[in-house]
Structure 1
Amino acid sequence: MPSFLEAPVAGAYHLLTSLVAAIEPLAGSYAAVIAIVFCTLVVRLCLVPLSVRAQRGLRARAELMPQLKKLSDRHRGDPERLQRELAKLQAESGTSVFAGLLPTLAQFPFFWLMYTLFSRAMVAGESNQLISGSLFGAPLGLHWPVLTGTPAFLVLAVLLGVVAWFSARLQLRQLDETATPLSRRLARILPFGTLLSAAFLPLAAGLYLLTTTTWTVVERTILQR
């Protein structure tokens, strides 16, 4: 790993181990689990302004759909002119096609840190204390193929599936009448990508995915109302 990336990893490691040490007298071997959930919730709380902005962008884009359709029909034979007109319309309305992606993109650095911290035996020049934490007896540093059949794997898999189902329903509800069959199919399938992702990640990262996707479902439900 490049040296300039070691600083944030070491900083996050010392912060998380300090939090685990503070929680350990009360939580025992579950201290790392609680620390992961707590840190994830804090990060998502900090991203709420981005989520609100993204929801407003999606709502504004939905209101623009009739105009976007008219422009597409009018300039179908001139792709360059269509792109210019679409960019102009989005600039005037203050929205963007990527508005809904802001909270997801902002989480990438945190997700990368979580993966790094729970996939290395050595961090910041010392033995990684975080991977000694466990969930239902399964070490947080283990990957899911090793965990198959354990209570930790089964519980997280079921919960990720339930959250993905609710997420798919929310995404379908956000689509308007102009959505293509492909868009609707993707809205049903993509949320279940968390189950596939978790199969290649440490248990700690699966726990992070469960926490952040649950927050997303609750947050979107509140913002849509």
Structure 2
Amino acid sequence: MKDVLVVKFGGSSIASTDLRKWVEAIEKSKRRLVVVPGGGPFAKLVRQYQTRIGYDDDAAHRMAILGMEQFGHALASLGTRLRPAATLDAIAAAHGEGLIPVWMPAKLVIRADEIEHTWSTTSDSLAAWLAGQFQGASLCLIKQIDLPAGSTIEAVSAAGVVDTGFASLLHPATRVFVAGPSDLAVAGRRLAEGAVPGREVTHEKQNGFVEAAQ
């Protein structure tokens, strides 16, 4: 599959009043989309109870992935074109029907040897990994922050906007965009035109988010 746009909903967006507006915006897209849900409060509970109960990082990783799926089912229920999809074949089938697949990551991620089962690999990294499964794909991360122009992958990782494992799972050919609150007003129109909302985050090492935010 070519010309796929992977759209990652940050877990914190589940508490945002803009969540439904973002769903409405992506459903206007004319290109093939794949929605990746964040872990949100479901993954936070996994982390919270890990310190209480003492289960290991492998168990926590698997539980957090299931937390992503919980948010994914919630997202799918908010749209008219959204359908849960667990495999690449299911994603392709949804595209063939003109639908937007919402990725349920457990089946693919658990058996992917290159993905570490630690807290350094969060849903942002999994979205980057998924984008790498499609030739020429782009990745749009919906965040609750507006990035300055000229941000880089290295800088946003250092600033904690994405996790530390993000760069290692990102394919060099994947273009990355970060869409914040200020992008919502035009997101539907841009997606309908085949464009990507947000600011592109470059792979080059240059002044980026850390420097621009100071």
TM-score (norm 1): 0.25
Bigger CA radius of gyration: 1
Q: Which has the higher strand share?
A: 2
Structure with more of its chain in helix, by fraction: 1
TM-score by length of 2: 0.26
